[in-house]
Amino acid sequence: MPESARERVVTGPDDSVSSPEQRAAEMLRDRAGRNSNSPGMNDLRPRRFADYIGQRNVVNSIQIAVEAAKHRGDTLDHALFHGPPGLGKTTISQIIAREMDTTLVHTSGPALERPADVVGILSNQKQGDVLFIDEIHRLSHAVEEYLYSAMEDFRVDFITGTGAFAKTINLPLQKFTLIGSTTRAGMLSPPLRERFALTYHLDYYSDDEITQVVKRSAMILSVPIDNAGAEVIATRSRGTPRIANNLLRRVRDFAQVRGDGTIDAEIAAEALRVEGVDELGLDRLDRLYLETLVRQYSGGPAGINALAASANEEVQTLEDVVEPFLLKIGFILRTPQGRRATAAGMGHVGEDGTRRGQGALLW
């Protein structure tokens, strides 16, 4: 059986409805290229721990847990992965299922709208299956409550009928592993968080690690690339493999059309300039955010709702997609009064950091 055939995707009834949260989630995927239809999008993902670059502490710890569970003939404990999008939460979960030689059932918090959705999925889990719930912080409270006994005692209790005909059904489940993935660990309720025996935070990759990812992906895509070319792509990928792979594809296209197909530093820099990605990897949306904060709000403090209205963007998109990396590189601060641009952030959009009145704004 091909390895990819071991993954089942379960979507929910609200898939066509577009809430601000869903649009932000879509945006995360679009921006990082996860919605790309190009063939082999999935082929760049490492399939085994041995091929995985970076996140050493996380991978070492998970590998031990996986090996120990296999040795005991047991299922893996429930695991929670949190951290910014595109860093490998899904990939590591897929590797876990593969290394455990089991099936990964893929669903998401918003897809599990009603208790019946989650009871249906749980009752279909086979012994040892991995149930992967993306955006687990978006589970409704009602659905979440079914997970408590499912995770702890591998059973769900639910009521059928009403009034005098109400009956509690006790449904035993197969022993499975729940893997939760979230960009917002703080939004998980404590009872749910506490039921994960394994909790891991994924952080941004170093430039060196991303350079290795770019070279590995270029080899899989059969794209000739030199060291300097890989480094230019890596340093503009915001420490995120998913972005690196997407930029690599864009640079490959550019090199094939405008060059001889080989990626060197010069062609990579030119391709990314055309794509609107600057030397730090900030794209148009990052710069719009920074310019709005710096020019319209004199560097802040500005509330996120005001910023979103001025930039004509969703709050959720700014919070989940734009701010994490700007915070990490020290361009903005989140203060109780609102968002502030730092001197470095101001400098990046060509302001010297001195405060000006609203009247002096450029737009």
Task: Rule CB under 6 A: say whether 52 interacts with ligand ADE.
Answer: yes
Q: Which of 31, 45, 89, 193 is catalytic?
A: 89
302: CB partners within 8 A, 6+ apart = 293, 296, 338, 339, 340
Q: Which of 75, 90, 177, 182 is catalytic?
A: 90
Residue 3: CB atoms within 10 Å = 11
Cα(131)–Cα(37) distance, rounded to whole angstroms?
Answer: 25
Q: How far is the CB of 212 from ligand ADE (least distance, A)?
A: 7
Q: Which of 183, 240, 292, 342 is catalytic?
A: 183
Nearer to ligand ADE, 216 or 356 (CB): 216
Q: Which amino acid is present at 109?
A: G
Q: Which amino acid is present at 251?
A: V
Task: Rule CB under 6 A: say whether 29 interacts with ligand ADE.
Answer: no
C-alpha distances (whole Å) from 301 to each of 163, 274, 335, 344 are 55, 32, 8, 16
342 has catalytic annotation: no
Q: How far is the CB of 213 from ligand ADE (least distance, A)?
A: 5
260 has catalytic annotation: no
191-230 positions binding ligand ADE, by CB under 6 A: 213, 216
Span of 50-58, 106-114, 257-265, 289-297 interacting with ligand ADE by CB under 6 A: 50-58
89 has catalytic annotation: yes
Chain position carrying tokens 């509330």: 303
Nearer to ligand ADE, 44 or 232 (CB): 44
Q: In the set 53, 131, 136, 150, which binds ligand ADE (CB under 6 A)?
A: 53
Q: Which two tokens stand for residue 88?
A: 């490998």
Q: In the set 46, 84, 109, 128, which binds ligand ADE (CB under 6 A)?
A: 46
69-128 positions binding ligand ADE, by CB under 6 A: 88, 91
Q: Which of 242, 249, 252, 339 is catalytic?
A: 242
90 has catalytic annotation: yes
Q: How far is the CB of 45 from ligand ADE (least distance, A)?
A: 5
The answer to whether the CB of 248 falls within 8 A of the CB of 215 is no
Q: Which of 117, 129, 134, 283 is catalytic?
A: 134
Burial of 29 by CB count in 10 Å (0-12 exposed, 13-18 middle, 19+ buried)?
middle
Nearer to ligand ADE, 44 or 121 (CB): 44
242 has catalytic annotation: yes
Q: How far is the CB of 86 from ligand ADE (least distance, A)?
A: 9
- Contact flags string 228-257 toward ligand ADE, x per CB under 6 A: -------------x---x------------
The answer to whether the CB of 126 falls within 8 A of the CB of 139 is no
- Residues that bind ligand ADE (rule: CB under 6 A) add up to a total of 13
Beta-carbon-side half-sphere exposure of residue 192 (alpha carbons within 13 Å):
25
Span of 45-53, 125-133, 226-234, 282-290 interacting with ligand ADE by CB under 6 A: 45-53
The answer to whether the CB of 7 falls within 8 A of the CB of 93 is no
Q: Parallel, antiparallel, or unpaired: how do β-strands 155-160 and 167-172 relate?
A: antiparallel
Cα(263)–Cα(251) distance, rounded to whole angstroms?
Answer: 7
What single DSSP character describes residue 33? Answer: T
Max Cα-Cα span within the chain: 77
- Selection from 235, 231, 223, 234 nearest residue 263 by Cα: 223
Question: Can you give the binding site for ligand ADE, defined by CB under 6 A?
Answer: 44-46, 51-54, 88, 91, 213, 216, 241, 245
Which residues belong to the active site? 89-90, 134, 183, 242
